[in-house]
Amino acid sequence: MRLSRMGIRGIGAVSGYGWGIDDLWKGVISGETAARVHSGLGYRFPDPCWLARIPDDGTPANGLSRYARAYVSAADEAIRDAYSRGWQPGRRVAVLTATTRADQELLRHLTAHFDEAEIRRRAYVQLTWTTPAYEVMKKHDFHGPALVISAACTSGLHAMATAQRLITLGDATDVVVVGLDSGYNAETMRSFHELGPLHFDTHPADVCRPFQDGSRGFVIGEAAAAVVLSASVEDSYLSVSSTAFSSEAYHAVGIDPTHRMIKSTVDDALTDAEITATDVETYIAHATGTPGCARADEAVVAHLGTQVRAFGTKPLFGHCMAAANLLDTVLLARGHEEGFIPVPPPYPGAVRHPQLATAPLGPAAHTVQVGIGFGGNIGVAVYRAHQG
């Protein structure tokens, strides 16, 4: 069965740059990272700590925590955007949530205040992973299905792949996909740092340099990103031609050095999109900055061919976990609307891969995006420029 092509009809985001797509776009084209030095984050947090943190704003009615408020804000923005572009929701609008750890900040708050009767009464429902999606469905009179997808750093692409299959099978007419992670606790920060890839004591440019030498990992980021996907591609930003997902089944946190499954999953997505590697112009890399991920991204670039220009956004956004892939999707969509795709500025003096994009790219006819996540998870999406 061929997968149905999907149109990206609306986009929304909350990031370290601020609340909304416009803040995200302005931040990215500035070339400055969203990460800042934070102090006083609380018990056991590194202090000071580099983090691309969602600001303490948002609409209080959207939830008790930044996580809940960011979820609803990004989804609402994407839905409003879709309506403004002529979207008419079908009978079954699904809401898919991509997340790795759900609302950790709210968990800490509710635990600290659990002696209060009102907290006890509301705690269980507030902490349930499905509650943010329910709030969006209730507000907009959507009737699902609603699912939570958790596949480490590929959660966003896995959610898009699930959305495409729901639409293809007729289980949904449209899908709102929201990727979100925020509210990391001190134990998460410190243990991830001890594992090796996360750095909280260094400017992102000094550790995360995709396709450049001297890259060692990433600074963590918080974000929510949302897209409205529809079987109708009319008035869309661009189309999702195909998606594919798989697992290496190689190592809990390591990447198979042969890159066999990553390349074959890319090939599966290209086949379903009815294009070949030589048709691909742009590659959005997973680009965590770690040596293993760098080798994997470089292997995909070599597999696609010398015509490809590649970039990764984590020096700007930080690594936003379940939201990372969808932030790239949102940026790509906005870039197609604006007529150019901004990319992170190269690190001065660093030796660069010859296919690294060092200046804004024009909208490509075909773009491939790859996500790589703990547990061997692999996600791939192929995008096509909207042609009416």
H/E run at residue 93? strand 93-98
CATH of the domain at 230: 3.40.47.10
pLDDT, one tens digit per residue, over 213-263 is 999 999 999 999 999 999 989 899 999 999 999 999 999 989 999 999 999
Q: Tell me the pLDDT band of 109, cut-offs 50, 70 and 90.
A: low
CA distance 95 to 320: 20
Mean pLDDT of 52-67: 87
Q: Rg of the chain over CA atoms, in angstroms?
A: 19
pLDDT, one tens digit per residue, over 3-43 is 999 999 999 999 999 999 999 999 999 999 999 999 988 77
Mean pLDDT of 44-52: 90
- What angle in degrees, to the nearest 10, is found between the helix axes of 66-84 and 131-140? 30
Say what percent of the chain tops pLDDT 70: 95
The pLDDT score that the predictor gives to residue 189 is 84
**Rounded to two decimals, what is the model's pTM?**
0.95
CA distance 289 to 167: 34
- Is 186 inside a domain boundary? yes
Q: List helix spans (H) across the chain.
A: 21-30, 66-84, 104-112, 117-127, 131-140, 155-169, 186-195, 260-273, 291-304, 314-317, 324-338
pLDDT, one tens digit per residue, over 280-299 is 999 999 999 999 999 999 99
- pLDDT over 50 at 60, yes or no: yes
- Is 174 inside a domain boundary? yes
pLDDT, one tens digit per residue, over 295-332 is 999 999 999 999 999 999 999 999 999 999 999 999 99
CA 340 to centroid of chain Cα atoms? 20
Q: Tell me the pLDDT band of 96, cut-offs 50, 70 and 90.
A: very high
The pLDDT score that the predictor gives to residue 186 is 83
Domain tally, the chain: 1
- Amino acid letter for position 261: M
- Is 356 inside a domain boundary? yes
- Is 15 inside a domain boundary? yes
- pLDDT over 70 at 114, yes or no: no
- Is 228 inside a domain boundary? yes
- pLDDT over 50 at 388, yes or no: no
- Is 1 inside a domain boundary? no
For 110-133, letters b (16+ CB in 10 Å) and e give beeeeeeeebeeebeebbeeebbb
CA distance 144 to 376: 29
Domain span holding position 330:
6-385
The pLDDT score that the predictor gives to residue 45 is 86
Q: Tell me the pLDDT band of 73, cut-offs 50, 70 and 90.
A: very high
- 49 or 64, greater pLDDT: 49
- Is 159 inside a domain boundary? yes
pLDDT, one tens digit per residue, over 167-212 is 999 999 999 999 999 988 888 888 888 888 999 999 999 999 999 9
The pLDDT score that the predictor gives to residue 102 is 80
Residue 142: closest CA among 201, 85, 190, 95: 95
Q: Say if CB 227 and CB 333 are below 8 A apart.
A: yes
The pLDDT score that the predictor gives to residue 122 is 67
- Is 45 inside a domain boundary? yes
Q: Give the mean pLDDT of the chain.
A: 93
